[in-house]
Chain A
């Protein structure tokens, strides 16, 4: 009967109920869409970073990421490889040699991160081979180089042109090598395209004079969500094999991409502020609506008190009304949100006009909104809660009334 009363009370002033209801619906739908776009962006940003370069787990000499010294190659990396081969959760790995130097054409030059790769194995740990837009991916033959579109424009070179790479070796001596451009790629990340070039691993080793050592091993596991547990397992496996782990570090992509993870964190916090604002707007709407409705019913509430309804029951009755508003608004808003979300998630949202800034954040032009559990919980919980909480004050006002107000008919 309480439900019946609550519903009928809400239907009493249909226009008012409809107004507050639509604000809840819009609030829920907007939260859902905003949130799913955010989730889609964050996911894309991470996936792009992982696929372009970072993989799930990276192995380096300890401190490599801080000093990036040529001499910081992985000690006895073959022993590490032996362990990697035995881990079931590792689906692929590839060795890399990394050098920092210069790339020069006849016309110009630029600073580079030169990545020496094993082309066939690299294909299994990164998607760089899929990003080639002109020419081809390096075949493994010596002195082939893959550069970005951006780099080619900077150096004013095209396919087949020759470029010279220079870098300091372990003794500080500057070596150079002549390369022929076999391919041009474009990744999703502008910052990446600015400096990354790919050469065969043997060329990089020669330039750096590091023998057959490697600076980095990129590892792909069977699940990107379990990297931390895999890291632990791998570290243990390395120790068990007798390998001296003290000088080696195993980093998950979350650790390698600490800066991006930090950005994502800030992003999430900003979203919370936005929910708060939406929730607050709804909250005040509900307070206002319920206050009006309580004041219109002073008489009735007095009667309810006279005939012996407990204050706590009256309080609950009013909160129930608001909660039902919140519930109906949330369900409808959720459905509306999903109906908007479905085509968006299928076709994506084309933000090509912001191409420049999207790429600088490591994003594609097309964003695919994503529903995850967090998004769903956020949109389903926040509004009913806000409405129920918004009813507390009016409900308190109601039970502060004196029952004699009803008897004193005016």
Chain B
């Protein structure tokens, strides 16, 4: 079942008045339960593509469909509601809120959704158990290792049962062992809960696990998977 479709997406940035073409006529589809990797060298447009899929950025040309719904003319607040309900984000630098504990970080987006206190606490604790990070509940990010922070970030990304999770080079700052552990975890979530993941990476460990692989070069998809 198709959840994302990009049609003829181009993105041109203006860098001090000089146009930079980051994406050129990109077409792709992502289905429910996919484990997608977008690979390519630095500067090939991976982050740009992910941002456009995640409605954080708008394409210069082309259309993004989320569950067949065209996002092109949506307002800012509509997009942010869509992100809150349907998309989870995992960042290279983890980007947990530093003033909140692990538990609170996970609860935060449920709070934005308006879930009552008790329910979100229960859900957060449950997901932490599943991801084996329950003992981090009351720690602040600066008291956790990178791997631990990224696990909390995964929990935050999936706790609202999103349609898909976007992860921009999630393992780039982690050592091999930790990275593999994290990937195992996400693969497990993909297999057990049918959560759709979309990665950007030039890390072989990540690419090897792809169910679907797109290779970007100079803003164009060069394989037709």
Identify the A interface with B (CB < 8 A).
1, 4-5, 8-9, 12, 299-300, 303-313, 402-404, 406-409
Contacts and interface: CB of A to CB of B under 8 A. Distances in A.
8 contacts: A5-B99, A8-B99, A299-B93, A300-B98, A305-B56, A307-B108, A308-B80, A308-B112
Contact of A407 (B50, B83, B85, B104): B50
Given A1-B104, A407-B50, A408-B47, A309 B80 contact: yes
B91 A308 contact: no
B77 A306 contact: no
A279 B80 CA distance: 36
A406 B166 CA distance: 14
Contacts of B20: none
A45 to B, nearest CB: 53
B57 interface: yes
A42 to B, nearest CB: 48
Interface of B: 47, 50-51, 54, 56-57, 76-77, 80-85, 87-89, 91-93, 95, 97-100, 104, 107-109, 111-112, 156, 168
A299 B95 contact: yes
Contacts of A406: 91, 95
Contacts of A307: 83-84, 88-89, 108-109, 112, 156
A299 B56 CA distance: 14
Contacts of B97: 5, 300, 303-304
Contacts, number: 77
Task: For the complex of A and B, list the 10 residue pairs with the smallest distance between their C-beta atoms, beginning with the closest.
Answer: A308-B84, A8-B99, A308-B83, A409-B93, A403-B56, A303-B95, A306-B89, A409-B92, A308-B80, A404-B57
B56 A407 contact: yes
A308 B109 contact: yes
Contacts of A309: 80, 84, 112
Contacts of B168: 407
Contact of A306 (B47, B56, B98): B56
Contacts of A305: 56, 80
Nearest to A408: B47
A308 B89 CA distance: 10
A357 B104 CA distance: 64
Given A303-B91, A303-B95, A307-B156, A5 B109 contact: no
Contacts of B92: 409
Given A1-B111, A306-B56, A404-B51, A311 B77 contact: yes
